[in-house]
Amino acid sequence: MKNKPGLRKGNFFESIAKGERIVTETHAEINNEDITLDVKEFNLFYGAKQALFDINIKIPKGKVTSLIGPSGCGKSTLLRSVNRINDLLSIVRIEGNMYLNDDPIYDPAVDVIELRKRMGMVFQKPNPFPMTIFENVVYPLRIDGERNKNVLAEVCEKSLRGAALWEEVKDRLNDSALAISGGQQQRLCIARAIAAEPEVLLMDEPCSALDPIATNKIEDLIDAMRGEYTILMVTHNMQQAARTSDYTAFMYLGRLIEYGPTGTIFQAPHCQETSDYVTGRFG
């Protein structure tokens, strides 16, 4: 296929093969947004293997941003770097920094636990804890030592409503969380993630383990959360990115290639590679 007019001909793939530094094509619209999370010159290594290269990305407040890219390109790695879950692996080494509302994330002085309390995370596979539905939702409060029953009940209801699960489970809050369906479990995990009112909500392919109906529900939920929560979501599914997100970032081989409003990324990307990927020519 011929290049569309206006496409930037960077030929990233060749540069990557040569080991050259990639400068992300960041669209100008980002500059008009309030920024919640700011990633600056971020590199990450698994042992000797580098997984992320010079990542620069600003995640706007109150918007849904999705990370797309072929499998193994480092989307999860980037997401898990934000709340430093990757730190649990001893082989991980990083360079550069990130800032959550201007507070550095990677800094010797940072208390990782305090930092994680400011974020929520939803994993690829639903991972409800082995306890009741109620206890699952209020877990973040429990570990903070909250004992007031009224506060807990209030937060539980609010979070479950926020995760569009309240109506389905309100009569069995004391049942085991392991007894509900997979889709419900994932929404429960979302409720848990928003219980402590996080500044940013990280989602790693939240629908990939679910059936289409459950997926629809989660997508509707994400849609409804727009504006209230800052969401950074990894997805493998381009239709999903197109449907749910305001901004989309395209990653490839550990590099961030292009980042801009979702509409533009899918209809008129600036880069040839992005165009090839979103039209399904590789990946």
Partner 1 sequence: MKTDAAVQKSTESKKKNSFKRSSRQRAKASLFAQGEPMIWLTGGGLVVSLMMIAGLMTLIVINGINTLWPKPVDLFVTYDNKPYMGEITRVEHFNPAKSELHQHQEKVNSDAVAYFEKHNGIAKRMLVRTGNFDLSGEHYNWVNEYDVREHTTPEQACVVERTSWGRFYGFPSAFLYNGEVIAQDDNQIWETFNKHHKEVRKRWRTQRKLETHEIGKINFYEEKERLKLREKELKFGIESEQWNTQNDHFKSFHARSQSAYEDIRTEINSLKEENDKYKIRFTTADNKEKIIPLADIVRMYPANSLTFFDRMNIYLSRWHEFLFDEPREANSEGGVFPAIFGTVVMTVIMSLAVVPFGVMAALYLREYAKGGLVVSTIRISINNLAGVPSIVFGVFGLGFFCYMVGASIDDIFFAARLPNPTFGKGGILWASMTLALMTLPVVIVATEEALSAVPNSMREGSYACGAGKWQTIWRIVLPRAMPGIMTGMILAMARGAGEVAPLMLVGAVKLAPELPVDGMFPFVHLERSFMHLGFHIYDLGFQSQNSEAAKPMVFTTTLLLITIVFILNMLAVKLRRKLRKKFVSAKF
Residues 50-89 that bind partner 1 (CB under 8 A): 83, 85, 88
Among 24, 36, 65, 77, which residue sits at the site for ligand ADP (rule: CB under 6 A)? 77
Residue 74's binding partner among partner 1, ligand ADP, Mg ion, none (Cβ under 5 to 8 angstroms by kind) is ligand ADP
Could you tell me the smallest distance in angstroms from the CB atom of residue 34 to Mg ion?
28
Pick the stretch among 5-13, 69-77, 153-161, 261-269 that binds ligand ADP (CB under 6 A): 69-77
Strand ranges in 61-104 using DSSP code E only, listed in sequence order = 64-68, 92-100, 103-104
Could you tell me the smallest distance in angstroms from the CB atom of residue 56 to partner 1?
24
Q: Which amino acid is at 116?
A: R
SS3 call for 255:
strand
Q: Which is nearer to Mg ion, 76 or 275 (CB)?
A: 76
Among 39, 68, 152, 189, which residue sits at the site for partner 1 (rule: CB under 8 A)? 189
Among 74, 140, 183, 198, which residue sits at the site for ligand ADP (rule: CB under 6 A)? 74
Sheet arrangement for strand 103-104: 49-60, 35-46, 92-100, 103-104
Q: How many angstroms separate the Cα of 6 from the Cα of each of 256, 272, 273?
A: 20, 10, 13
Which x/- pattern over 154-193 shows residues binding ligand ADP (rule: CB under 6 A)?
Answer: ----------------------------------------
Q: Measure the CA–CA gap between 188 and 94, rounded to whole angstroms.
A: 32
Could you tell me the smallest distance in angstroms from the CB atom of residue 280 to ligand ADP?
17
Instruction: Using alpha carbons only, give the angle 97, 99, 104 rounded to the nearest 5 degrees.
Output: 70
Among 12, 53, 123, 229, which residue sits at the site for partner 1 (rule: CB under 8 A)? 123
Contact between 186 and partner 1 by CB under 8 A: the answer reads no
SS3 call for 99:
strand
On whether the CB atoms of residues 95 and 42 are closer than 8 A, the answer is: yes
